[in-house]
Chains A and B, each alone.
Chain A
Amino acid sequence: MEDAAMENGETNKDSEVAPALIAVHPTQNSVAVAVGSDLRVFDLLGGCAVSLVDDSDGSLHKDSIRAIRYGANGKLFVSAGDDKLVKIWSTESWRCISSLCSEKRVSAVAISNDGSYVCFADKFGVVWVVVVDGFNGDQDFVNKKAAPLLSHYCSIITSLEFSPDGRFFLSADRDSKIRVTVFPKKPLDGAHEIQSFSLGHTEFVSCLAFVCTHECPQGFLVSGSGDSTVRLWDISSGSLLDTCDIREKAGLLESKEIEDRYAAVTDLCTIPDSTLVAVAVQSLQGIILLSCDLSAQTLYVAKVVSIKGDAFIPTSLGTSFSSGLLWMVTGASNLHDSQHPCLSRVKVISGFKESSPDFVQHGPIVLEDDEIPRSEKLLEKLQGRVSFDKNYFLTAAEALKTSMSNLLIKKQYSTEKREFRKRGRNDKKIKK
Chain B
Amino acid sequence: MSEKEANPTFSKSTGLPRKRFYRARAHSNPLSDSHFPVPISPGHVDYSLHYPQHFPSSDQVDSGKKIQFADIGCGFGGLLISLSTLFPETLMIGMELRDKVTEYVKERILALRVTNPGQYQNISVVRTNSMKYIPNYFEKGQLSKMFFLFPDPHFKEKNHRRRVISPFLLDEYAYVLEVGGIIYTITDVEELGDWMKACLENHPMFEALTDEELKADPVTKLLSSATEEGQKVDRNGGQTFRAVYRRVAPSL
Contact = CB atoms under 8 A, between A and B. Distances in A.
Interface stretch (B21-29, B50-58, B59-67, B186-194): B21-29
B35 to A, nearest CB: 6
A330 to B, nearest CB: 32
A185 interface: yes
A175 B167 CA distance: 21
A192 B140 contact: no
Interface residues of B, number: 35
Contact of B33 (A2, A181, A190, A428): A2
Interface residues of A, number: 43
Given A427-B24, A431-B20, A199 B32 contact: no
A276 B167 CA distance: 40
A426 B33 CA distance: 17
A238 B43 CA distance: 12
Contacts, number: 88
B171 to A, nearest CB: 5
A190 B174 CA distance: 14
Contact of A153 (B23, B132, B175): B132
Contact of A411 (B33, B42, B252): B33
**Residue of A150, A197, A428 with most partner-chain B CB within 10 A:** A197
B31 A154 contact: yes
A3 B31 contact: yes
Interface in A178-209: 179, 181-182, 184-185, 189-194, 196-197, 199-200, 202
A192 B171 contact: yes
A197 B29 CA distance: 25
Contacts of B204: 189, 192
A3 B23 contact: no
Main secondary structure, interface of B, reads loop
A177 B41 CA distance: 10
Interface string A419-432: 00000011110110
Contacts of B42: 199
A151 B175 contact: no
Contacts of A189: 204
A328 B25 CA distance: 52
Q: Which 5 A-B pairs have the closest CB atoms?
A: A199-B41, A151-B168, A194-B175, A427-B25, A427-B24
27 contacts: A1-B31, A1-B32, A4-B29, A4-B32, A6-B31, A126-B168, A148-B168, A181-B171, A185-B252, A192-B174, A192-B205, A193-B171, A193-B205, A193-B252, A194-B172, A197-B135, A199-B135, A200-B41, A410-B33, A411-B33, A418-B35, A425-B25, A426-B25, A427-B24, A427-B25, A427-B98, A430-B23
